[in-house]
């Protein structure tokens, strides 16, 4: 049985030639005529042979593309063709493409020019490479498109490119990819005309010498201050860069931290955000992205009204949630100075460190703070957020950062490595990414 990898990269179709190749199938996919022997399905089960000129295929097991089913077709003599091969102009598997339109396996709705490649476990002897996106290649590497992006790019589509969302959907089409991109406030309202607004987003080569891109060559950053490294043009210290504007709360906010009962955060200040509208690939059932949150609020302003946030807001709202915020810790704390993932930190005589009446183990030390402007403060290190999606649907994701209470003491998030998942059962959640051993 084929072993599907959970997280898969985005693959473009530009320049590919797709042929209308008739699919082949055995076992549950195939049918046999009068006297035909039963086929073997993908799990080794048998399929009934045809009788009386009408063949009935056995129910397919778990096939390499994750789809089973029963197909009935005309039989006779040596056996008939599967139903999904009756007409190259008919979309037999309902994925929006016929063989004449480039579907290289019209028996499987997970395979079409509107799918992304699934990279399997090549170490598994049962693994069989497949061409899910019908570009005549199998298991091609993840596409990257961020090498030449400028740190101060004003093109919101470059925020998508920086995180490996490379494919731009065809205007007016139905293919997957980024449909639109725009700079907004954290609550989704239009971006302010304040001259300092655009300093709050950036495309960085890394964040200090010890935090490098998770994929490609660049990372996207949003900040309540300046989304820059100290070595980048336009850098402002996070110790007190107030940009001088307010905004509304995102839906579901103010969202107080369970770790700080009775504390109410202040009015949003100095927000910067990007909102991407994305049409989901035909075979994608979830997605993930990686992020790392830095805050100058640690250690002095833990559990106070001066609480900076990183927001990742998904629309439609995931089932079971009251709002679209999908990045939070295991205790339900939103991503702020009060979240439980503040693992990059240190103090004199420690760790452990005590701040705001709480104890921090600081298991990752301070290396990831060097060269960022956040030395002597704290960060989460890389975290991964995942969420489910409906194949072929359109979603919106908004990444933003803002101060609260006042515009001083800033926070910055860096984001990278968007991946699609072809595996069913993805749930909303955020987990730490284990550091790479050195």
* 0.85 surpassed by pTM: no
pLDDT at 52: 35
CA distance 127 to 42: 12
Cα separation, 128 vs 176, in Å, equals: 25
pLDDT averaged over the chain? 82
Distance between CA atoms of residues 422 and 7, nearest Å: 7
Residues 53 and 76: beta-carbon distance below 8 Å: yes
Q: Rounded distance, CA 30 to CA 320, Å?
A: 40
Q: CA 297, 301, 304, 305 torsion: positive or negative?
A: negative
pLDDT top residue among 296 and 104: 296
Average pLDDT over residues 378-386: 98
Q: Are 217 and 208 in contact (CB under 8 A)?
A: no
SS3 100: helix
- Rg over CA atoms, the chain: 25
pLDDT at 121: 57
**H-assigned helices in 16-138:** none
Residue 85 pLDDT exceeds 80: no
How confident is the model at residue 4, as a pLDDT? 32
User: Which of 35-49, 209-223, 234-248, 422-436 comes out lowest in average pLDDT?
Assistant: 35-49
More confident residue, 394 or 69: 394
């Amino acid at each position: 049985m084929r072993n599907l990898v959970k997280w898969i990269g985005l693959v473009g179709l530009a320049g590919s030639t797709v042929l209308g190749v008739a699919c082949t199938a055995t076992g549950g996919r195939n049918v046999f005529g009068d006297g035909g022997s039963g086929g073997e399905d993908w799990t080794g089960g048998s399929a009934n042979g045809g009788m009386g000129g009408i063949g009935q295929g056995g129910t397919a097991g778990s096939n390499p593309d994750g789809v089973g089913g029963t197909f009935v077709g005309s039989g006779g003599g040596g056996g008939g063709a599967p139903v999904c091969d009756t007409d190259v102009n008919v979309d037999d598997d309902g994925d929006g493409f016929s063989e004449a339109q480039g579907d290289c396996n019209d028996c499987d709705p997970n395979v079409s020019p509107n799918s992304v490649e699934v990279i399997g476990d090549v170490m598994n002897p049962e693994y069989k490479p497949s061409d899910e996106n019908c570009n005549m290649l199998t298991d091609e590497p993840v596409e990257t498109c961020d090498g030449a992006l400028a740190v101060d790019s004003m093109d919101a589509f470059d925020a998508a490119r920086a995180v490996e969302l490379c494919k731009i959907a065809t205007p007016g089409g139905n293919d997957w990819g980024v449909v639109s991109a725009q700079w907004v406030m954290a609550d989704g309202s239009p971006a302010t005309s304040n001259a300092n607004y655009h300093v709050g987003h950036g495309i960085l080569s890394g964040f200090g010498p010890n935090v490098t891109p998770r994929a490609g060559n660049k990372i996207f950053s949003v900040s309540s201050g300046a989304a820059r490294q100290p070595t980048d043009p336009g850098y402002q210290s996070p110790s007190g860069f107030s940009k001088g504007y307010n905004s509304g709360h995102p839906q579901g906010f103010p969202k107080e931290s369970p770790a700080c009962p009775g504390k109410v955060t202040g009015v949003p200040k100095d927000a910067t955000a990007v909102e991407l509208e994305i049409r989901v690939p035909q075979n994608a059932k979830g997605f993930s992205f990686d992020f790392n949150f830095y805050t100058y609020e640690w250690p002095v302003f833990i559990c106070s009204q001066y609480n900076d946030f990183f927001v990742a807001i998904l629309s439609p709202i995931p089932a079971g949630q009251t709002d679209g915020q999908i990045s939070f810790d295991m205790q339900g704390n939103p991503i702020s100075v009060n979240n439980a993932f503040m693992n990059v930190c240190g103090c004199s005589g420690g760790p452990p460190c005590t701040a705001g009446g709480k104890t921090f183990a600081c298991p990752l030390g301070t290396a990831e703070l060097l060269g960022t402007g956040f030395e002597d403060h704290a960060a989460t290190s890389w975290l991964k957020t995942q969420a489910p999606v409906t194949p072929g649907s359109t979603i919106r994701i908004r990444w933003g950062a803002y101060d609260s209470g006042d515009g001083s003491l800033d926070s910055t998030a860096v984001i990278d490595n968007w991946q699609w998942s072809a595996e069913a059962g993805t749930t909303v959640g955020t987990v730490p990414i284990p550091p790479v051993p050195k």
